[in-house]
Amino acid sequence: MRMNRQRPDQGFTLIEILVVITIMAVLTSMVILTFSGADQRQLHEGEVERLALRLDLARQRAVQRNREVGLHLELNGFEFVELDPDVGGWRPLEQRPFQPAEYGTDVVLTLTVEGAGNESDDDDDPGLFDEPETDGVDQRPPDLVFFRSGEVTPFSLGYELADASQRWTVASDGLSSIQMTAAETP
């Protein structure tokens, strides 16, 4: 009569099982970290797309209402304004989709306007545009103007994360549509 003996090399040892579990845990954490970074990128990319669409809507509003629409760029956001010829100033637009936008300190907005020089202001001569807002009318000229003719001040608006890991540009040459591009980061 023959007895079946199990060979010692059948099955897994406890050490082998622990090694496999450790490898699986490391791979799983790498996948999760990769997806969380992608989620952040998609979140910011969506914000930039919304910004480009809002700028395009401002251009359309200027044409439809036959009034100039402007954009005031703030430290952590922006505000749309519309020229009110009755009072000779810029009134804030607060209805959707033109309500003011605020970003956290993790976003840096930079605006480059064609033809705008880096001239220093003369502090001894306060002009009309240095006056503060009164009765909801702002005397400051906007940083970017959408004209009733459909043209816009040629511009390039950079949207960059404070850690410089991601950057997008929203731009127009003044006549063509507003374009969004992702910039290469080092």
Q: What is the mean pLDDT of residues 138-166?
A: 88
Length of the chain: 186
Structure-token match 């969506």, residue found: 46
Q: What are phi and psi of 90, to 5 degrees?
A: -105, 125
The percentage of residues in the chain with a pLDDT greater than 90, rounded to a whole number, is 31
Region 13-20: mean pLDDT is 89
CA distances from 143 to 32, 80, 111, 157, 174 (A): 41, 10, 8, 11, 14
Are 185 and 165 in contact by the 8 Å Cβ rule? The answer is: yes
Condensed to tens digits (0 to 9), the pLDDT of residues 58-117 reads 999 999 999 999 999 987 789 999 999 888 889 999 898 999 988 878 888 889 998 765
Hey, what amino acid is at 59? R
Find the mean pLDDT for residues 33-44.
69
- The predicted pLDDT at position 125 comes to 35
Q: Between residues 10 and 47, which one has the greater pLDDT?
A: 47
Whether 16 has a pLDDT exceeding 50, the answer reads: yes
